[in-house]
Amino acid sequence: MTLLATTDVHAHLLAYDYYSDQPAPKKSALSRLSTLIRQERAQNSNVLLVDNGDFLQGTPLSDLVTDLPAPNTITHPVVMAMNHLRYDAASLGNHEFNTPLNRLSEILHQIHFPLLCANLAPIGKDAHLLQDLWHKHVILEKQLVDQSGELQTVKIGLFGILPPQVVNWDSSRVSGKICAQDSVTAARRAVQELHDLGADIVIGLAHTGVSTEPERVNLENTGLHIARIHGIDALVLGHSHLSFPSADQPSHPDISEHNGTISGVPSVMPGSAAAYLGKIQLTLEKKGASWSVLSHKAELISAMAETQTPQDPDFVSQLTPAHDWVLQQVREPVGTVPFPIHSYFAMLPGCNSVRLVSHVQAE
């Protein structure tokens, strides 16, 4: 079985720079990863595709459709992109909650695959907005083709977690509406529940980085401690925008760049902005009525290697209506500046650049 993973895409869907309003041939984008995903699926029918959070926010292509009244004919581009790629599941990231909860609910209810988060729960009078929007965990019964060409049913359990600090970072939107639990505690419980429910394989979608700090309640980057939980067969990490397997991670005896493992668990952290596609190959072995991992290999596939991966034309076509509408918005003048503005004297009263920014922030 092959696990493909993205993380921290931050709505980098197309290779286009909306700030300079021109194509960006050197920019990573999900449209390039779409080409890689298509290639992987063509070579192997036993593919599971997941995302590890922070997919919704980050570029005008998503943010303007989120914030402004777009035409009814335009589906939210992130929703369209992820549904088009047929993700099997996704974990929520903290930046999903940069969006007001009523709008977030509208957007995420259009997604066609399970959303996961084991350490957040809706509370209060607005809990109905998020009711059933995400699950602590899920078991997918996948039909996999074995070496003899026969179909085998494998129960794949997945859970998600994110940094509990989200209730502080986005308190203006979620205070009194969402409560957060320590991520390691929630992950430990989710793994146990998945095995109790009969999962053959358990995969963690952990929107968290890797820190060598000792385990403590509400630690932000808990990847190392989650990897130590017994019963996890593969782990997808993120949040810190670093990569693994690579030299990005701290030096620690439990972290093996060479083996692509953290505490012996095959793990990937596919950077950010759709720069990498994480790939974990799991060779499964059936013993009696259950399955286990016989061997594994973790790696990152770059969309921006020496030979750049081209954008998937079908993917680009799907997003063209939203792309064109966003271009109309970003090309609309919002004001004029009759003279150059600089910040050379920003520490003194009367600086025009500081005044301009302050007025915008006040509004």
Mean pLDDT of the chain: 95
What is the average pLDDT across 238-251? 96
What is the average pLDDT across 67-77? 94
Name the one residue in this structure whose structure tokens are 């150059």: 340
The pLDDT of residue 243 is above 80:
yes
Rounded-to-integer distance, Cα 165 and Cα 242, Å: 19
pLDDT at 288: 85
What is the average pLDDT across 50-64? 97
What is the average pLDDT across 306-316? 92
CA distances from 315 to 76, 85, 323 (A): 14, 8, 12
pLDDT at 197: 97
The pLDDT of residue 306 is above 80:
no
The pLDDT of residue 290 is above 90:
no
CB 96 within 8 A of CB 55: yes
For 19-41, the pLDDT digits (tens) are 999 999 999 999 999 999 999 99
Report residue 307's pLDDT band, with 50, 70 and 90 as the boundaries.
Answer: confident
3-state helix, strand, coil in the chain (%, to 5): 30, 25, 45
Rounded-to-integer distance, Cα 265 and Cα 302, Å: 22
Report residue 18's pLDDT band, with 50, 70 and 90 as the boundaries.
Answer: very high
Report residue 334's pLDDT band, with 50, 70 and 90 as the boundaries.
Answer: confident
Least confident piece of the model among 62-71, 113-122, 244-253, 305-314? 305-314
Note the pTM of the prediction, 2 decimals: 0.93
Name the one residue in this structure whose structure tokens are 């977690």: 161
Rounded-to-integer distance, Cα 355 and Cα 258, Å: 52
pLDDT at 308: 86
What is the average pLDDT across 278-292? 93
Q: Where are the domains of the chain?
A: 2-332, 338-363
Rounded-to-integer distance, Cα 343 and Cα 193, Å: 56
What is the average pLDDT across 121-146? 91
Rounded-to-integer distance, Cα 208 and Cα 244, Å: 13
Rounded-to-integer distance, Cα 107 and Cα 294, Å: 40
Rounded-to-integer distance, Cα 242 and Cα 223, Å: 12
pLDDT at 128: 82
Q: What is the CATH number of domain 2-332?
A: 3.60.21.10
Report residue 5's pLDDT band, with 50, 70 and 90 as the boundaries.
Answer: very high
Report residue 305's pLDDT band, with 50, 70 and 90 as the boundaries.
Answer: confident
State the Rg of the chain over Cα. Answer: 22
Give the pair of three-digit tokens for residue 220: 């932000």
For 89-121, the pLDDT digits (tens) are 999 999 999 999 999 999 999 999 999 999 999
pLDDT at 165: 98
pLDDT at 299: 97
For 145-163, the pLDDT digits (tens) are 999 999 999 999 999 999 9
What is the average pLDDT across 209-238? 97
Give the pair of three-digit tokens for residue 119: 């350490």
Higher confidence at residue 132 or residue 216?
216
Kind and range of the H or E run holding 98: none
